[in-house]
Amino acid sequence: MNPQRPDRDTLMAYADGQLDAARSAEVERYLEYEARLALNGDVPPHGARSSVSAEIAALQAQNLALREALAPMLDEPVPARLLQPLAPPARPWARAAVVALWIGVGAAAGSLATREALQQNGPVVTAQNEGMQHFVHQAELAYAVYTPDARRPVEVREGSDLTTWLSRRLQRPIVAPDTLPGGLVLMGGRLLPGMPGKPAAQLMYQDAQGHRVTVYLRGMAKPTAEISFRIVPGKQASTFYWVDRQWGYALTGDLPRAQLLDAARVLYQRYTADDPPALPGSTATPQA
């Protein structure tokens, strides 16, 4: 039986990090279901409606914009003029209403900041619980949804504005090589859903024949120094992925395995200081 598409309220709660573990798992199962359909070229039951992944990305972008807009208010004192009587003493409720309104605006921003702090400092999730399979499914879904798009495959085109924008949104330096082995040229990138309340990024590359590959990166639930470098073969596209401390990276594309490996190694070396371990069972000859 196919999973049921989450309703709008559920998606909003998921984007805000307000769902419990069981309901979050239901949303993630639907994301995996969409990923399988997209990779097989099938149309989900909701047809032309936007994907759940795209809806969550839009909701998280709204949350980030709201937090950025309201955050400065948290450090501002209530203006003295709002603490003065606004009417004769017989109407103290007027002053209380105005002050309550001001505090309410600050509380809205504060609740967003508090939710994020709880997400960052809450119980540590093991790699097994978080699921590398889900991470790879997210990367595959993003690849399947956006690479066929002929009109707007990326949100921001290549250039310094792209890396500056993504670095600010993800709150860490983001590098985007202009080219990758095999004639792959950077097209641009976009924000995507990641962990609740924290976005992921996707970079897209294209070669002269029109083949596209994507780089998906996001923060993981548990910081770790362990580094793995693996491949997940697919029917239409394969994914190389690795985890370096608290960040996961995935390169997905419908290209020969050796070419994807070469591109993955270049990306790995740009994001980490050490050479990656040899890929288990790989017969490809990596570039030096």
Return the bridge partners of 185, or none. Answer: 179, 206
- Span between the terminal Cα atoms of the chain, in Å: 48
Phi, psi (deg, nearest 5) at residue 157: -70, 170
Are the CB atoms for 52 and 30 separated by under 8 Å? yes
Predicted local confidence at residue 190, as pLDDT: 92
pLDDT digits (tens, 9 = 90+) for 151-209: 888 988 877 789 998 998 888 888 899 999 999 999 999 988 777 767 899 999 999 99
Predicted local confidence at residue 186, as pLDDT: 96
Same domain for 144 and 243, yes or no, is yes
**Which parts of the chain have pLDDT scores under 70?**
41-50, 62-131, 197, 222-227, 273-288
Q: How far is CA 177 from CA 35, 46, 169, 225, 272, in A?
A: 27, 37, 19, 24, 14
Same domain for 182 and 113, yes or no, is no
Predicted local confidence at residue 136, as pLDDT: 86
Same domain for 109 and 140, yes or no, is no
**Region at 115 (left for phi over 0; alpha for psi -120 to 50; beta for the rest):** alpha
Are the CB atoms for 237 and 252 separated by under 8 Å? yes
Q: Is position 242 within any domain?
A: yes
Are the CB atoms for 134 and 28 separated by under 8 Å? yes
The reply to whether the predicted model has a pTM over 0.95 is no
Our count of domains for the chain comes to: 2
CA distance 60 to 195: 10
Same domain for 105 and 154, yes or no, is no
Predicted local confidence at residue 262, as pLDDT: 93
Are the CB atoms for 47 and 95 separated by under 8 Å? no
Q: Is position 161 within any domain?
A: yes
Give the domain range for residue 87: 76-121
Based on the number of CB atoms within 10 Å of its own CB, is 224 exposed (0-12), middle (13-18) or buried (19 or more)?
middle
Apex 135 CA angle, 129 and 140, nearest 5: 150
Q: Is position 114 within any domain?
A: yes
